Amino acid sequence: MKVWKEIRGWLFSIGIAFILSLFIGIFVIQPYKVDGHSMDPTLHDRQRIYAEKWSHTLGNVPDYGDIVIIDSRVDRSRTFMDDIKEHPIIAMLTGESKQEIFFVKRLIGKPGDKIEIKEGKVYRNGQLLNEPYIKEQMVIGPDQVYNVPADHVFVMGDNRNNSKDSRMIGYIPLDHVMGIKGFFK
């Protein structure tokens, strides 16, 4: 009987640790891996970062210039079950890797903003952005104008000439902003 009581105590502790880990990963902080060179020189391919998730949990709009993790599947709605299935422990247990759907980008536009790309430079609401973080000036192409709709944001990579971002995939629904890169490395 004493052995069974000891085993039960350990199982209870492991269960609490598992539930706590899920809670922290879904609502507080979660690790992500940068995949590719779209955020060079700020972040590098395969670099691990930690995102604070309480902004996503509370539905807050990140600040201009924040590095955000987004779900690139903008053509579908997200549910709470997505957050659970995408938790690293659950993904490991089910054998599913969803890493390739998460993009790490910089927030350029909030709901209601007008983003213009002219002569390789980015303007927000008519103001030229000071972007010391970009790798190099964008290759000059045709001028582009984006009007960010309500409940969406506009994101771009720091390596503008090598980034799949809002210019290609469209506006990002706020519920697809999974987290903001935290102060942790």
Q: Which is it for the CA torsion 78, 178, 67, 162, positive or negative?
A: negative
Cα–Cα distance for residue pair 22/116, rounded to 1 Å: 40
Burial 28-53 (b: 16+ CB within 10 A, else e): eebebebbbbbbbebbeeeeebbbbb
Q: Which of 38, 55, 72, 163 is flagged as catalytic?
A: 38
Assign 3-state DSSP to the chain and report helix, strand, coil percentages, each to 5: 30, 25, 40
Q: Which of 53, 55, 72, 105 is flagged as catalytic?
A: 105
- Strands ordered across the beta sheet of 121-124: 127-128, 121-124, 114-118, 144-147
Reading the block at residue 20, the tokens are: 């706590």
Told to judge if 55 belongs to the known catalytic residues of this protein, a careful annotator would answer no
Told to judge if 163 belongs to the known catalytic residues of this protein, a careful annotator would answer no
Phi/psi of residue 180, nearest 5 degrees: -115, 135
Q: Would you please indicate which residues are annotated as catalytic (active-site) residues? A: 38, 105
